[in-house]
Chains A and B, each alone.
Chain A
Amino acid sequence: MSYFDIQDITVSFGGVKALNNVSFSVDQGEIFTIIGPNGAGKSTLFNVISRIYEPSSGEIHFNNQNISKKKAHQIAGLGIARTFQNLELFENATVLQNLLLGRHIYRKSNLLNELFFTPKVKKTELEHRLKVEEVIDFLDLQHYRDTIISGLPYGVRKNVELARALCTNPKLLLLDEPSSGLTNEETIDLGFWIKDIQSILNITVVMIEHDMSFVNKVSDRILALNYGEIIATGLPEEIKANEKVRTAYMGE
């Protein structure tokens, strides 16, 4: 079995089948991109992986574990982190607090020693902070540590969300439209970062993306979805040449 394996996932909302028998697998260390027109079921797929939606059938395996019966809050602990299409940041908290929340799964304290803020709690807080600082350096967020999210420009917010996901020390990173709403320069930076996440941090990346030039530049393999069904998988060149993808998504 491969590193990350989706087997026959079907999701239906009432009569609508958002995903119909979707199966694919991702190898360790790969950048795997999912493309497809609006309503193809891309975000639904992510929400199934992070256990927010319950699939009507199918199984998901990650790292030789069946994760399709786990609870939503257990997913982060398994090493899967994600970002959201419409930014789900903690708006009224600072960047630092947002990133520290990425360390939530590594907390060691309980309510009683937090109540007295014992030296042990402080020590683990400082350890978390060190990790957060690494991510801050990695994504150039030094200027924004103490800024409240609601005062940040959109591009930086996107970046903070990526940073927060990285703070969980993931093995698999799910990025939901990471480049949407970014300027050209920000998109170029993001491309480098995603490559670095793959090569330096050794994280497997699965992303949903619309910007085809960005997708071709970054991805190792691409999967195209339409109406909840897979229409093609393959290398970027193969997808570009694929007749079905051209008619369903890119347009002639």
Chain B
Amino acid sequence: MRFIFKTKYDQDINVSRHSGDRFWYSLLIITMLTMPLLIDDFYLGEISYICILAIAGIGLMILSGYTGLASLGHAAFLGIGAYTHAFLLTHGIPFIVSIPIVIIVSFLVGAIIGIPILRLSGMYLAIATLALCFIAEHVFIRWEHFTGGNRGLAVPSEEILGISLTNSTVFYYLCLFFLVLSMFAAINILRSPTGRAFVAIRDSEIAAQSLGVNLGIYKALSFAISGAFTGLAGALLAHYIGYLAPDIFNIFLSLTLLLLIVVGGMGSLHGCVFGAIFVGFLPQLIAICRDYLPSSIASQPGLEPMLFGIILVFFILYEPLGIYGRWMKIKLFFEMFPTYKKQTFKKQKVFTKTDRV
């Protein structure tokens, strides 16, 4: 068991808490960097996809996990990012310029949509964001000049420093790079006043307000930041898919993102990666299992959404903290080995909190 002896306030601010953290995360980075040598192109593509999902997950996590605002429409931001990126690329704007523009555009769209929508709360907010998802899908179909409508839009194969992005190793490194970058950006936001204000809004709007947090601005900001991350993921997704069609960015993709953060663990950035791994590999796992199932079940359409739904229900019932929560419990079990108590993670029931202000 490790006892952290704090001698400086910096230790509560720094990203890594102790030498163990630094060791394991460096090891993880090295493993990720050597990955192209270890596995073949197919799985490399899968991992790139997981990185993209994780970036989108960070976006939704900031909104839902940290600010406590539900969104069922985040596929819209993926779509906005993807279409903007593809549009810019086809007009000859290089990749390195296009990405910041995509981030700014999705940030602004998030802010503009966020200001009216975030006057709602709870169930009503969920419905409004659901509407956002449908509206975005229709815009993608109708705004043919920009999106190519139902015919779709081919994403140009782009080169960075003379190396083509269609090369799966290059694309993998690109996704990994943006994931690490997004992670650091998210950590930085969350450990500064803005991130704390988000957490405050999640846990008690009324107290946040009385401490000087402007609810309207911070909620819109959260929506905008969330949109920016998801937009970036969308731009990368555009390269991954190669050909954009409006029906990619449907409600099912939004639900997948929701599944990602719930399964990963609400309110933790680790959860975004765990959730992305889970959601990314699940279809593969289902495909593999399909071979062993009787054909009457295996050939059923909608097997995947059904399993997604079942898994979501099971997580909410039995592990509301998600994979990350389970991971924390396992870690604590080994740290405390003979004296581990299940109750450590049980929340005290508090009956004092009421709807009264």
Contact = CB atoms under 8 A, between A and B. Distances in A.
Interface of A: 43, 47, 50, 52, 71-77, 81-82, 84-93, 96-97, 100-105, 107, 109, 111, 114-117, 121-122, 125-126, 129-130, 133, 150-151, 154, 164, 168, 181
Given A86-B354, A115-B188, A73 B214 contact: yes
Interface of B: 9-10, 12-13, 185, 188-189, 191-197, 199-200, 202-204, 206-215, 221, 225, 267, 347-348, 350, 352-354, 356-357
Given A101-B211, A104-B197, A154 B192 contact: no
A88 B352 contact: no
B213 A111 contact: no
B204 A89 contact: yes
A202 to B, nearest CB: 21
Nearest to B346: A151
A21 to B, nearest CB: 23
User: Quick one: which of B9, B189, B356 has the most chain A CB within 10 A?
Assistant: B9
Contact of A47 (B203, B267, B357): B357
A105 to B, nearest CB: 4
Contacts of B185: 115
A92 B267 contact: yes
Contacts of B199: 90, 92-93, 97, 101
B115 to A, nearest CB: 16
A88 B348 contact: no
A232 B353 CA distance: 31
Contacts of A109: 192-194
A164 B12 CA distance: 18
A102 B211 contact: yes
B12 A129 contact: yes
A214 to B, nearest CB: 19
Contacts of B197: 101, 104
A224 B160 CA distance: 75
Q: Is the interface of A mostly helix, strand, loop or mixed?
A: helix
Given A50-B210, A86-B353, A87-B353, A125 B196 contact: no
A52 B211 contact: no
A116 B194 contact: no
A93 B196 CA distance: 9
A86 B13 CA distance: 31
B212 A74 contact: yes
A121 B10 CA distance: 12
Contacts of B9: 126, 129-130, 133
Contact of B189 (A72, A84, A93, A111): A111
User: Quick one: which of B12, B194, B195, B207 has the most chain A CB within 10 A?
Assistant: B207
Given A92-B267, A104-B197, A150-B350, A117 B192 contact: yes
A102 B213 CA distance: 10
7 contacts: A72-B210, A86-B354, A88-B357, A90-B200, A111-B225, A114-B193, A117-B188
User: Quick one: which of A87, A104, A122, A168 has the most chain B CB within 10 A?
Assistant: A104
